[in-house]
Amino acid sequence: MGHDQKYVDKKYEVVGTRFNRPDGIDKVTGKARYGADASAPGQLVGRVLRSPHAHAQILKINTKKAEQLPGVKAVVTFEDMPDLTSGDQGLADILENCMARGRALYDGHAVAAVAAVDEQTAAKALKLIDVKYKKLPHVTDVDEAMLESAPVIHQRIITRGVEPAPTKPSNISARTQMGYGDVDAGFAEADVIVEKTYKTEQTHQGYIEPHACLASVNPDGTAELWVTTQGHFVFRNVCASLLGFDIAKLKVTSSEIGGGFGGKTHVWAEPVALALSRKANRPVKLVMGRDEVFRATGPTSSTSIDVKMGAKKDGTITAAVAEMRYQGGAFPGNWAMLACMTAFACYDIKNNKSIGWDVIVNRPKVAAYRAPSAPMAAFAVESTIDVLAKEIGVSPIDMRLKNVAREGTVAPYGPTYGPIGIEHTLQAVKDHPHMRAKLKKNQGRGVACGFWFNIGGQTCTDLNIGVDGTVNLALGTVDVGGSRSSMAMIAAEELGIPYEQVRANIADTTSLGHNDMTEGSRGTFSSGMATVFAARDAINVLKQRAAKMWGVPEEDVIWENGQAVATGEGHGNLPPLSLKEIAAKSGRTGGPIAGHNEVTADGAGMGFASHICDVEVDPETGRSTIVRYTVVQDAGKAINPDYVEGQFQGGATQGIGWALNEEYIYGKDGCLQNPGFLDYRIPVCSDLPFIDTKILEVPNPLHPYGVRGVGETSIVPPLAAVGNAIANATGVRMTHAPMSPPRVLAAIDDLENAG
Amino acid sequence: MSNATLVSTTVNGDPVQFACPTDESLMTALRDRVGLTGVKEGCGTGDCGACSITLDGDLVCSCLVLGVEAEGREVATVEGLSADGELHPLQQKFIDHAALQCGICTPGFLVAAKALLDRNPNPSETEIRYALAGNLCRCTGYDKIVHAVQAAAKDMRKKKRR
C-alpha cells in the first residue's frame, strides 16, 4: 500500500485548510443570481407546449389562434428550428429532443413554444395551440422494449456491436462487451456460484433549481444567453450549431447553478428560448416548471441486470459475469457501455465479462446523473458479493479485501491501475468505530464499495494581478460545489500570498478559451491544474519585473513565500520584493501582470470509496430508517476538506434516496404519474442522521498536488450498502430498487410464508 | 395585466406597494413585482420550501399564498435577515460550517431555521430535523446544515439576541 512520499511530505500553507467560500455571502443573503433571477428590458415570458402522449404522430399543429392572441409575440414549432446538423446524428437527436419533429416520443416531449408579454397570456396561448395527434403504440420498460413484439421507436436503429448485424431495426441501439480471461474455466474452478437478477427504477438528479434561461437575439446575428448550466462553453457551441450562430457572436454567461449533478450538461429549453427571441426580436425568459423538469429533462436509466459470480472456499472470486440492460430514453445512449466499465472495477478478478445492452424506450432522453450507470451496476455486483460471502462463510469486508484491486491490477475496461485507494478505504472501514456500534433489534449493517473515474478535459484559466497586489482568477469551469474557494486556495498557495488576496470568478464565454463542462468530477482537478500553471506563469512575469526593478539578470531571481528574492553573488543585500510591491510598480515595468494557461488536463485519477450503513427495518410497514452512515473515500489530496466532506455526504444522500424511495412511476398509458416532489420522494432532513466521513489521501501522481476528483463516487455504494444492511436486518435479499416499504414488506411476508 | 389589484404590505420592515393579478402567488409577486429574488421557485406546489417566508411571523411557502393575501401583513424574507450590514448568526454559521453548496435552498432554510429558533431557542437535533423537513436540499445531505443551526442557536443563546 505505497504512498508517493513526495506528495505526503509536501508542506502546504493554504491547501488542505478550511476557508470560507467567496460566494458564501451572496448565497446567504439572497443576492446570488441563478437562472431565473435575471431580467432584461422588454422581456417576454416563454412557455413550452408538451405532448400528453407517450408516443404519437403529430399530424398537424395549428398555431394561428395563439399567434393572434393580443400579447403573444412569437410562436415556434420545429419549422422555426431548421435542421442544420449536416448528418451529425448526435446533434440531430439533440435538436429533435428539444422540439419534436413530426412525432412525439415521450410524455412531455416539447411540441411548440410561445413568447408573450406575461405569464397569464403565455398560458392562454398554449391552450390555443391546436395539435392533432395520432397515438402510436408505446413501450416504457427496458426488458419489454427488447422483445420482438415491442413497437420499434426508430426505424433507423440497427443494433451496433452484434455480429452479424441484425437485418431488422429494433429498440436495441448497441451491445457492448468488456472484460478478459475465460469465465467458463473460472466458473468450473469455483466451489460456490451465485446467480441473481436485479432491477432498478428510473431516478432524476432532483436539483432544486429548475432549468431557466434568458435569451436575447439581435437582428445582426449576435445573441446573449444567461443560463443555469454545468458548462456554458459547451452550451454556446451546441446552441450556435443548432441555430446557425457564429460561436464568437453568442455570448453565454453562466448564472449561479442551483444543482446539476449531470442534469444540466445538456440543452433542452435554451435553443427554444433563442428561437423564440429570434422570432420575436425581444429577450425571452424561459423557466421550466417542476413537472416539466421531471417529464422532459434528462433522468437516469432504469435497468435490468443479471450477475453471476463464482468463488473458491478461500474467498477468491474465480469468475464474474454481468449482463446489463439500460434504457437511454427515446434516443440512443452509451449508458450500458459505461456500466460495463465500472461493474467489476473495484476488484481483481482473473476472469470477468461485462455485457451491456443500450435500449430505446418512450421516456425522456437520459442524461448523466453523478457517476452515470455505476450505482445500478454496483447495486447488483455488491449485493451479489455479500450473498457469495455469506455462502462461503467469509465476512463481507474480508471477501472484498481478498479480491480488491490494487496498483497493477488491470481494470475490466483495459487500463492498468496506478496507485489507487480502495484497499485503504476497506481497511479504514474495518478499523472504523462505526463497525463496533451496537445494533438493536430489527437493525442490520451493510458495507459496499464504489468506483468512478474522473475526466480531465479542456480547461483555460486567466490570472490577473491588480496594482494593489490582489489577484483575480478567471475560471471557465462552473462552480457546482464550492470549487471557487479551492481554486483561490491553490492560486494563493502557488503565489505564496494569503487566501483573502485572491478572488475567483466564473468568466463568460467571450472572456476565455473553451472550457469543458463541470462533470466527470473534473472541476477541481482540471481547473486546479490550470490554476497551478497559470500562477506559475504569472510568477515568471513577477520574477522578470523584479529583475528589472533591481537591474539584475532574470536567472538570479527566485520566488519564495510570496516574494522575489535575489540570489547569486553581490545581490545578497537586496531586500526581497513582495508581490504587492512588484504589482504597485507594474505600470512602469511593462504593464499589467498576468498568467494564463490552457491545458487538456490529463491523468485524472480514479476515486474509490467504501460505505457502512446501519438500517432499522420496521417489520410491520417495511419502512427502512437509516440509523448510522459512514463514507470513507480516497480524495488524493483534499484542497478544502469542508467541501470534500460535502461531496461525500451529498452523494451518499442521493444514493440513499435512490435506494429507498425515489422512482419514476409510469402508468399503462406510458405517462409519468409522479412529476413532483410530493410523490417523487427525495430524502428530507428528518430521514437522516449525521453522515460520518473519513477522507483518505492516496496521491494521484499525475496531478501537481495529487488531487483526485471526488464529486461522483459517493453515490455509487449506497444502493448496495442499504440493500446489504436490509438483508442483515431482516434476512431478506432485495433485488429491486428502490427498496421502498411496499416492496420490503412484500419480501418479508414472502419469507415468512415460505418459512 | 388582467385583474390587477394594488397591495399595500410591509416587507422586511419597510412599507411596500405592488400591483399583481389576483391569481398570482406571493412568491411571484415578491420576485417579479418587488424585485426580491432571494425567494426561489423550486416547485411551485409547496413541496420543496425554497420559497419559504414568514407571514406575520408564521413560516409559509410563498408559492401557496396569493400576492393579494399580503395586504396589511408583515412579510419577512431572507433579505431581511442581516441588519446594519451584519450577518445574522444563522447566515454566518451557514458559511462557517459549509452548510451550503449550490446555495439555492439556503434562503429557504435560513428563514425556516430562524422561525424555529424564534419559537424554540434550544432545539434538540431531532427538533431541528423535523422543523426543517419541509425544506429540500439535494447537495448537502443536511449534515452541515443541522450543525450550522445548532451552532447558531448556541451563539444566539449566548448573546441573547433577537
**pLDDT for the residue numbered B1:** 57
- Residue B106 C-alpha cell reads as 439556503
Given B63, B80, B97, the domain boundary residue is: B80
CB of B52 less than 8 A from some CB of A: no
The shortest C-alpha distance from A577 to chain B (Å) reads: 34
**pLDDT for the residue numbered A485:** 84
Same domain, B58 and B118: no
Interface-testing mutation among B25, B129, B138, B144, with chain A (most A C-beta atoms within 10 A): B138
- What CATH number did the domain enclosing B145 receive? 1.10.150.120
Scanning every residue of chain A, which has its alpha carbon at the shortest distance from the alpha carbon of B37? A37
Same domain, B12 and B63: yes
Interface-testing mutation among B41, B106, B139, B150, with chain A (most A C-beta atoms within 10 A): B139
Q: What is the arithmetic mean of pLDDT over A713-733? A: 98
CB atoms within 10 A of CB A681: 17
pLDDT digits (tens, 9 = 90+) for A265-281: 999 999 999 999 999 99
B36 versus A522: the higher-pLDDT residue is B36
Beta-strand relationship, A593-601 and A352-359: unpaired
**pLDDT for the residue numbered A4:** 57
Q: What is the arithmetic mean of pLDDT over A381-397? A: 98
Same domain, B96 and B144: yes
**pLDDT for the residue numbered A3:** 47
Scanning every residue of chain A, which has its alpha carbon at the shortest distance from the alpha carbon of B89? A28
| Residue B146 pLDDT greater than 50, yes or no | yes
Chain B contacts in chain A segment 278-337 (CB below 8 A): 287, 289-290
| Residue A127 pLDDT greater than 90, yes or no | yes
pLDDT digits (tens, 9 = 90+) for B11-38: 999 999 999 999 999 999 999 999 999 9
Q: What is the arithmetic mean of pLDDT over B110-114? A: 98
Same domain, B11 and B75: yes
| Residue A321 pLDDT greater than 80, yes or no | yes
Contact B101 A481 (CB under 8 A): yes
**pLDDT for the residue numbered A519:** 75
Beta-strand relationship, A317-327 and A352-359: parallel
| Residue A383 pLDDT greater than 80, yes or no | yes
CB of B93 less than 8 A from some CB of A: no
CB atoms within 10 A of CB A298: 23
Q: Tell me the helix, strand and coil percentages in chain B, rounded to 5.
A: 40, 20, 40
Q: Measure the CA–CA gap between A58 and A54, rounded to whole angstroms.
A: 12
Same domain, B73 and B102: no
DSSP label at A160? B
Q: Confidence class of residue A569 from pLDDT cuts 50, 70 and 90?
A: confident
A299 versus A518: the higher-pLDDT residue is A299
| Residue B162 pLDDT greater than 60, yes or no | no
Chain A residues within an 8 Å CB radius of B41: 36, 210, 287
Residue of B78, B104, B144 lying closest to A258 (CB–CB): B104
| Residue B134 pLDDT greater than 90, yes or no | yes
CA proximity to A234, closest of A210, A204, A209, A270: A270
Q: Measure the CA–CA gap between A537 and A534, rounded to whole angstroms.
A: 5
Average pLDDT, chain A: 94
Residue of A23, A30, A480 lying closest to B107 (CB–CB): A30
Given B26, B48, B80, the domain boundary residue is: B80
Measure the N-to-C terminal CA separation of chain B; round to a whole number of Å.
40
Q: Confidence class of residue A370 from pLDDT cuts 50, 70 and 90?
A: very high
Domains in chain A, CATH or no CATH each = 7-28+456-601 (3.30.365.10), 35-136+210-257+264-296 (3.90.1170.50), 303-454+605-754 (3.30.365.10)
pLDDT digits (tens, 9 = 90+) for A46-70: 999 999 999 999 999 999 999 999 9
Percent of chain A having pLDDT more than 90?
86
**Where is A45: in which H helix or E strand?**
strand A44-50
Same domain, B119 and B140: yes
| Residue A748 pLDDT greater than 70, yes or no | yes
- Residue A385 C-alpha cell reads as 458479493
Residues, chain B, total?
Answer: 162
Contact A208 B50 (CB under 8 A): yes
Residue of B37, B82, B135 lying closest to A37 (CB–CB): B37
Same domain, B133 and B101: yes
**pLDDT for the residue numbered A2:** 39
| Residue A80 pLDDT greater than 60, yes or no | yes
Provide the b/e sequence for A80-114 (b: ≥16 CB within 10 Å): bbeeebeeeeebbbbbbbbbbbebbbbbbbbbbbb
Q: What is the arithmetic mean of pLDDT over A684-692? A: 98
pTM for this entry: 0.94
Q: How many domains does chain B fold into?
A: 2
Same domain, B9 and B75: yes
Residues whose CB falls within 8 Å of the CB of residue A584, separated by 6 or more in sequence, listed in order: A467, A468, A469
CB of B109 less than 8 A from some CB of A: no
Same domain, B23 and B71: yes
Same domain, B112 and B143: yes
Q: Measure the CA–CA gap between A534 and A540, rounded to whole angstroms.
A: 10
CA proximity to A510, closest of A460, A457, A458: A460
Range with lowest mean pLDDT among A6-15, A161-170, A318-327, A341-350: A6-15
Same domain, B105 and B153: yes
Residue B10 in 3-state DSSP? strand
- What CATH number did the domain enclosing B52 receive? 3.10.20.30
Chain B contacts in chain A segment 10-49 (CB below 8 A): 18, 20-21, 23-25, 27-34, 36-37
Given B62, B80, B98, the domain boundary residue is: B80
**Complex-level ipTM beyond the 0.85 threshold:** yes
**pLDDT for the residue numbered B159:** 87
pLDDT digits (tens, 9 = 90+) for A628-667: 999 999 999 998 899 999 999 999 999 999 999 999 999 9
Same domain, B114 and B138: yes
pLDDT digits (tens, 9 = 90+) for A164-182: 999 999 999 999 999 999 9
**pLDDT for the residue numbered A5:** 62
**pLDDT for the residue numbered A544:** 96
Cell numbers 431557466: residue? A212
Q: What is the arithmetic mean of pLDDT over A688-716? A: 93
A628 has which bridge partners? A614
Identify the domain containing residue B39 by its residue range. Answer: 4-80
